[in-house]
Structure 1
């Protein structure tokens, strides 16, 4: 069982190690606090599988995650991110959790909603719950925001994404592992055999369970890529359910492998720093085989 860390322990270990090992002066502090958190990496990956219909060839999907609005990340930055996403002209938009750092304390929902609403994707906008979306009695706040802005909230359920020629894939979303109740069998219940299935799970480490089911890809966030990483040491502290798979691309299993991608997210939490863990947007392009 994953050992939970208190906020105090997290802060002490992370901040202390960060300053001590790096020996940060004013320049290093400025970079980690102001510069790197404002940078943006755009990663591009192809999603290939025999069950992907030929009509999905070239369909583009963008994932963003872990904005944590209200901590360090603000609406002005989020507005620029939304404009960038629209400029990339995705067919599908995915948000994989942790919209606001503390939903019940966030005071700018009336300004947030129009930004989310302007995100455009002809094949739909989809999202799942992260632990911060549930935290502080925020579950209904988050759901209402996302549904108001035409996101489909996937909570232990699936939905087909279908093109005009009848070709389809299935998108699944499960609840958060820390503060929710993820239920993969329920999410898979209505999916026909031999269909491409893509799972959204805020927690990447649930991929080990997902690999035991007929799921072909999993897309996650939660880890922030470690948020602060040191040479030869790696991430100082990573959250529960992101300790085995903290960042990037993985393959689990051999006979019917599951491919996992873990996005580093956009914002920060607990500590207002990023170091060697730039914010990330991920572009996925479907390829038929």
Structure 2
């Protein structure tokens, strides 16, 4: 029998304790009904000397891990769409997991109206998450995102041009349920261009440490979804254990992990508020 390390044992015990606390006190009501509705709007400035001057002040909106269900419904998504459009981003990206195991076709159909309202002059891009390959099959997700005006990306590189300047968007397919083509990305990404990478699972960065990626945007982890004070997440997702939430890295490879909007497995969030993220790219200090 495999022996648990002391850290694993303590982490498991701590997790069981907080779940027990949430289940038996008013903490459950907070984690079930309040924090999942406390959408945090995160704004970050990303300075990079490689960014063309024409893209200075270029704004990107990221949302992720909607997990349509009773916990996060199409009505909740409509509020998110309004917040994103109100910020007038230049580019909108969705980093995967629109659906969930318990999501309903009814909520999914309602969500189409909201997703179609999203608008940005440089378009809206979407990648696949592991749940998008799940309960309803990838075909439904693909059809939905394309019908709503998204460019659905799998192992591709795109270029955006503005006033003679150019940046590139690299995309990887889901690590857990599909075949991410690391070799393609390593071969096609140009070190001469500012590169934005979209990939659902953040730990893809471990395979791309020497690839010139200026900013990677990911989701998947939900910020742990349930965290312990002074300890962090009690459970971490596969391919989301090194990079869990927030901004990591330096000029060579920045990684941002969005905490997502919905929940999965447990309809709870504790010290891991849902979020929308806005990035403003700058070419000078």
Q: Which moved more, 1:133-142 or 1:96-105?
A: 96-105
Aligned CA distance change for structure 1 residues 75 and 137 (closer, same or farther; 3 Å): closer
Correspondence for 1:272: 267
Whole-Å Cα distance in 2 between the matches of residues 154 and 55 of structure 1? 25
For 1:7-62, what per-residue CA distance to the aligned partner results, in whole angstroms no more than 9, with x for missing partners?
xxxxx989744333x36544211100000000011111122222210011111111
Correspondence for 2:199: 201
Aligned CA distance change for structure 1 residues 78 and 235 (closer, same or farther; 3 Å): same
Correspondence for 1:18: 18
Q: Secondary structure at the match of 1:282?
A: strand
8 A Cα contact 2:74 2:108, kept in partner: no
Aligned CA distance change for structure 1 residues 104 and 44 (closer, same or farther; 3 Å): closer
* 1:37-52 equivalences in 2 (<5 Å): 37-52=36-51
Whole-Å Cα distance in 2 between the matches of residues 176 and 14 of structure 1? 31
For 1:173-225, what per-residue CA distance to the aligned partner results, in whole angstroms no more than 9, with x for missing partners?
10111111111232454444400111011101111112221222111100000
Whole-Å Cα distance in 1 between the matches of residues 43 and 148 of structure 2? 26
* 1:234-249 equivalences in 2 (<5 Å): 234-249=232-247
RMSD, aligned α-carbons: 2.1
Q: Structure 2: which 5+ runs fail to align? A: 1-11
For 1:92-145, what per-residue CA distance to the aligned partner results, in whole angstroms no more than 9, with x for missing partners?
101000001139853333322111010011111001100001113521111111
Q: Secondary structure at the match of 2:170?
A: strand
Correspondence for 2:82: 83
* 1:71-110 equivalences in 2 (<5 Å): 71-102=70-101, 106-110=105-109
8 A Cα contact 2:64 2:258, kept in partner: yes
Correspondence for 1:212: 210
TM-score normalised to structure 2 length: 0.89
Q: Which moved more, 1:135-144 or 1:181-190?
A: 181-190
8 A Cα contact 1:71 1:269, kept in partner: no
Whole-Å Cα distance in 2 between the matches of residues 203 and 14 of structure 1? 25
Is 1:61 the counterpart of 2:56 in the alignment?
no
Whole-Å Cα distance in 2 between the matches of residues 221 and 18 of structure 1? 24
8 A Cα contact 2:189 2:212, kept in partner: no
Selected match of 2:166 from 162, 165, 168: 168
8 A Cα contact 1:224 1:265, kept in partner: yes
8 A Cα contact 1:104 1:138, kept in partner: no
Whole-Å Cα distance in 2 between the matches of residues 286 and 183 of structure 1? 27
Aligned CA distance change for structure 1 residues 71 and 187 (closer, same or farther; 3 Å): farther
For 1:203-262, what per-residue CA distance to the aligned partner results, in whole angstroms no more than 9, with x for missing partners?
01111112221222111100000100012332111110001110111116xxx7211111
Whole-Å Cα distance in 2 between the matches of residues 286 and 181 of structure 1? 30
Whole-Å Cα distance in 1 between the matches of residues 189 and 253 of structure 2? 17
Correspondence for 2:4: none
Whole-Å Cα distance in 1 between the matches of residues 164 and 188 of structure 2? 17
Q: Structure 1: which 5+ runs fail to align? A: 1-11
